[in-house]
Structure 1
Amino acid sequence: MTRKGTALMTTSRPRGLTEQAAESATDSACRMLKLPTIRTKFTDMAETAAREQMTYTGFLAELLMAECDDRARRRSERRIKAAGFPRQKSLREFDFEANPSIDPAVVHTLGSCEWVKKGQPLCLIGDSGTGKSHLLIALGTEAAMNGFRVKYTLATKLVNELVEASDDKQLGKTIARYGRVDLLCIDELGYMELDRRGAELLFQVLTEREEKNSVAIASNESFGGWTKTFTDPRLCAAIVDRLTFGGAIIETGTDSYRLAQTRAAAS
């Protein structure tokens, strides 16, 4: 038996196999064990290991870490895709200098996703073009990359889906489905007035998630203006309470940096 720590030799053959037979056996085993990364990278990594005289255990560790890293990447990609984001946005791309109203330290702290782990809410409030949706999508993406189940939706789309589910007597299943994700991102809340039925259905979703799973919303209306969206004052107050209790509120301001960038490019 080879002693632990012995360096790899270019002349070594598992079980006395030829190089071609060894590669074929490795390929078959990786297919059987569902190790696609090792299967595709094994030959190149084996050559590198032999050239650098890595130990057998070191080579094995490199192979397994490559497979684990690739699996983690694929899982992350699947969670991001399942979230249904309309476009890709990241915290790295956000231009904090263009919007000094937003504290980078606060945003990067949120990027650690501790608030999602604790089931806390997040409200992004500000005018169009101030970065609300960018931050909502970017923070949702960070949560997906950190292993959380995330779902993005527009407020009107969510309400319409709930109304249809109620008409089809599927409301309980739909609310439960939205209740299971770790982070529900609701964009463009406040852009359109909701009738009482729609507001009540949205309230049910928020109640299902209260103090269990996080909700993050982006709205162009300050809380005082939410009565335009939720016309019942008591229901409006209850929804604001659900979305703010124990959570973070980021005000992105009123100056559209998108508009400023457009004007600067045109000048």
Structure 2
Amino acid sequence: MTTPTTTRTVLLKHHLKALTLPTVATECEKVAARSAAANVDHLGYLLQVCEWELIERERKAAERRLKAARFPAPKTLAEFDFAARPSVNKPLILDLARGDYLGKRENVPLAGLSGTGKTHRASARAMAACAQGKRVRF
């Protein structure tokens, strides 16, 4: 690497840090090398590094939402044994996992005897809401 290239790289990383674009800062050189090898123009390169930044931000935001929710144990509806609980309305539960009721600000109470999977279903719905970008608290 030549001295002007090193200086430009250091300045670029400094500017990216100031702009709070950490993923672009870490991935820019790798993406630049791939773009040069594939003969991608500057707009294609910029698109690729911006996509990396967005994907990483979405991933970190999802992790923060899951951590803030304080789930006792991660549960999903795929893990729930509907066959063991035939009284549970599977189509309704799967429909509720879509989260339409959240936008309408509707309550969805859970009632039932001990051991019927209420906590599992509530955790699974809350995790589905986190995946949809909603903040939840368990």
Match of 1:102 in 2: 88
Match of 1:74 in 2: 60
Given the superposition, is the C-alpha separation of residues 26 and 87 from structure 1 closer, same or farther in structure 2, using an over 3 Å criterion? same
Match of 2:21 in 1: 35
Given the superposition, is the C-alpha separation of residues 44 and 93 from structure 1 closer, same or farther in structure 2, using an over 3 Å criterion? farther
How far residue 149 of structure 1 moved from its aligned partner, in angstroms, is: 2.6
Match of 2:101 in 1: 115
How far residue 66 of structure 1 moved from its aligned partner, in angstroms, is: 1.5
Could you tell me which amino acid in structure 2 is paired with residue 121 of structure 1? N
Unaligned residue ranges in structure 1 (runs of 5+): 1-16, 153-267
Given the superposition, is the C-alpha separation of residues 45 and 121 from structure 1 closer, same or farther in structure 2, using an over 3 Å criterion? same
State how 1:166-185 maps to structure 2 within 5 Å. Answer: none
**Higher RCO (CA-CA < 8 Å; seq separation 6+):** 2
How far residue 60 of structure 1 moved from its aligned partner, in angstroms, is: 0.8
* Moved segments of 4+, more than 6 Å: none
State how 1:38-49 maps to structure 2 within 5 Å. Answer: 38-49=24-35
Return the TM-score normalized by structure 2.
0.82
Judging by fraction of residues, say which structure has more helix. Answer: 2
Aligned partners of 1:98, 1:20: CA distance in 2, in Å?
63
How far residue 47 of structure 1 moved from its aligned partner, in angstroms, is: 1.9
Match of 1:165 in 2: none
Return the TM-score normalized by structure 1.
0.46
Match of 2:117 in 1: 131
Aligned partner of 1:53 among 33, 39, 55: 39
Q: State which structure, 1 or 2, has the greater radius of gyration over its C-alpha atoms.
A: 1
Unaligned residue ranges in structure 2 (runs of 5+): none
Could you tell me which amino acid in structure 1 is paired with residue 23 of structure 2? T
State how 1:150-169 maps to structure 2 within 5 Å. Answer: 150-152=136-138
Could you tell me which amino acid in structure 1 is paired with residue 95 of structure 2? T
Judging by fraction of residues, say which structure has more strand. Answer: 1
Can you list the C-alpha shifts for 1:175-213, whole angstroms capped at 9, x where unaligned?
A: xxxxxxxxxxxxxxxxxxxxxxxxxxxxxxxxxxxxxxx
Number of residue equivalences: 137
How far residue 34 of structure 1 moved from its aligned partner, in angstroms, is: 0.5
